[in-house]
Structure 1
Amino acid sequence: MSKNHSSTKNTRLAFFLNLIFTIIEFIGGYLTNSMAILSDAVHDLGDSLSLGGSWYLQRLSNKEGNNRYSFGYKRFSALGALISGTVLLFGSIFVLTEAIPRLFNPTHPDAQGMLWFAILGVAINGFAAWRLHSGSSMNEKVLSWHLLEDILGWVGVLIISIVMMFKDIHILDPILSIVITCFVLFNVVRNLIKTMKVFLDAVPDEVDLDAVHEQIKSINGVDEVDHLHIWSIDGEENAMITHLYTSKGFAWEKQGEIKEKVRDLVSHLDIKHSTIEIHIKEN
């Protein structure tokens, strides 16, 4: 079995497990009257969208660019992140509007029901994380760590449910719900900012554009650097375009050598597409 096929299979399995369990969570959260479970259901809904998008995009990963999408289909991953992030944002706000009032008027969740759901949550998310973590692709590794966060959330529900089975401290449920939701919101906002930077063609955070400008200008034969632009295609791979100016005495046959030196300078910046134009200064 090829690595690409195995990666797709693992991601597909994790997606269906997560989606089915998310549906069970919404039902279980309603039946047990637990905001902690409902807040984690919203979290898992976002995970399901991410996994589904990753599964679909994994199948498109080898598709080359065409007349409609000259850079290929890589930015569709950013579109998926934007959609799932927006769903999570509004879902988390809804959970907070339900959970905060319960701090002042705690309801009585079914602690025993929460316990069984927590055990099921740790088992299903743990199995999905193990399958993805055993894979070799970067996509699988990232998703496995995301699922490990879910496991920690369910461990929290498990501990709270055990405590409430022996102590009548019902306020623990909305407190845990708010903690989980705030954690999700923090990561959602952070990822949405990164995604919007991709769509706005911002300079990637790891790129010091001024430093790159000076490094290129220091190459022998380069007098000026103009229209230097570096942007991200999908949040992982970058692209670059620049115009270089040389003096009239420049040996034109050396332009290939200069371009190669420029590409060597930026090779550590994950630049997969580069356009380098060389012009002779008129004065």
Structure 2
Amino acid sequence: MGAGHDHSHDYSGHSHRPTLSADDPPEALCSKERAIAIAALLTGGFMGAEVAGGLVSGSVALLADAAHMLTDFASLVLAWLAFRLARRPADWKRTYGFDRFSVLAAFVNGVTLFAIAVWITWEAIGRLRDPHEVLGGLMLWVAVGGLVVNILAFWVLSRVEGDNLNVRAAALHVMGDLLGSVAAIAASLVIIWTGWTPIDPILSVLVVLLILRSAWAVVRESGHILLEGAPAGFDARAVTADLEANVPGVARAHHLHAWSITHERPMATLEVDLAPGAEPDTVRRAVKDRVRETTGMEHVTVEVARPGAH
């Protein structure tokens, strides 16, 4: 390393344990993990009853909702597993720990919603072409039971959701189930009152359209994090310009890279060329403070270079 460089990396005050972000203290993570587990038990417990009810009643809406519940159960288990893995400390192979697994779980859960949407739409089209008898009364009672279970599961998750992508993806799955139950109730009432069975697949497709919008938001955001995209609202050009204009001793700020380990753990690294006479440690601390002040980012690594080093 040349004598003209001062490569100062300050990590003071930054824990490298993957579970301890500023927004998620250990007790908050435990409550989220517990909420995921409760929602999984509620969903998995009712899934079998809905499958039986859909087969006996002949309702594609109930079968679609049961299939959705099956994937919900798997997704909730995956989300729960992500929280369990995130407890493991960082090691020499995984210096950031296992936090990113929760983002991967959110991405997989979002993608499965698209697969579910295709299956439900295919089944609905088949039922519209070849209508089947539907037992509206049985369908109604099973759908009401599903609605109660989904409301409880969604309530448990919404209380702890915050900005956690993993919990949000799980909540979207449960919301999809909840909408499916509402659609099944509406369809069963129409069938009971009028005998018009096409309402069953039609409402199933409408629910699919509502689910897809939210699923795309989760896939887009989790995919952005997995691709090491800049945190939301972070503009590298604006940050470097602000540092050069407002931090004494900064001649030039460059090579700024910003990314997120999870939605709650944004990070950045940058290089700063010092103005003549500037003191490296003073400038480095000032740069970190300025970035924290303007972006809210707590973990910033700053490399400083003395004049004439390049």
**Does the CA-based 8 Å contact 1:42-1:92 persist in structure 2?**
no
Mean Cα displacement is larger for which, 25-34 or 157-166?
25-34
Query: Compared with structure 1, are the counterparts of its residues 93 and 56 closer, same or farther at alpha carbon in structure 2 (3 Å cutoff)?
Result: same
Deviation at 1:7, TM superposition (A): 4.4
2-structure distance, mates of 1:49, 1:206 = 33
- The structure 1 residue matched to 2:126, chosen from 82, 101, 122, is 101
- The structure 2 residue matched to 1:167, chosen from 184, 189, 194, is 194
Deviation string 1:135-174 (CA, Å, 9 cap, x unpaired) is 6976598456764553343123212211211202111001
- The structure 2 residue matched to 1:261, chosen from 289, 295, 304, is 289
2:242 maps to 1:226: no
Name the aligned partner's letter for residue 178 of structure 2: I
2-structure distance, mates of 1:200, 1:121 = 37
2-structure distance, mates of 1:8, 1:186 = 26
**Does the CA-based 8 Å contact 1:11-1:55 persist in structure 2?**
yes
Deviation at 1:101, TM superposition (A): 3.4
Mean Cα displacement is larger for which, 135-144 or 169-178?
135-144
Listed as ranges, the gaps of 5+ residues in structure 1 are none
2-structure distance, mates of 1:95, 1:244 = 55
**Does the CA-based 8 Å contact 1:8-1:58 persist in structure 2?**
yes
Q: Which runs of 4+ in 1 moved over 6 A?
A: none
Q: What corresponds to 2:44 in structure 1? A: 19
2:74 maps to 1:49: yes
2:213 maps to 1:186: yes
2-structure distance, mates of 1:281, 1:29 = 74
- 1:198 is paired with a residue whose SS is helix
Q: What corresponds to 1:281 in structure 2? A: 307
RMSD (Å), alpha carbons: 2.8
- 2:195 is paired with a residue whose SS is coil
TM-score normalised by length of structure 1:
0.85
Structure 2 matches for 1:31-110, cutoff 5 A? 31-110=56-135
Listed as ranges, the gaps of 5+ residues in structure 2 are 1-26
- 1:223 is paired with a residue whose SS is strand
Deviation at 1:228, TM superposition (A): 0.8
Deviation string 1:12-67 (CA, Å, 9 cap, x unpaired) is 12112112323433343233222212222333334323322332233344433221
**Does the CA-based 8 Å contact 2:280-2:304 persist in structure 1?**
no
TM-score normalised by length of structure 2:
0.79
1-structure distance, mates of 2:220, 2:35 = 29
Identity %: 27
Name the aligned partner's letter for residue 276 of structure 1: V
1-structure distance, mates of 2:298, 2:110 = 27
- The structure 2 residue matched to 1:207, chosen from 234, 240, 246, is 234
Query: Compared with structure 1, are the counterparts of its residues 213 and 49 closer, same or farther at alpha carbon in structure 2 (3 Å cutoff)?
Result: farther
Number of positions where the alignment pairs a residue of Structure 1 with one of Structure 2? 280
- The structure 2 residue matched to 1:9, chosen from 27, 34, 50, is 34
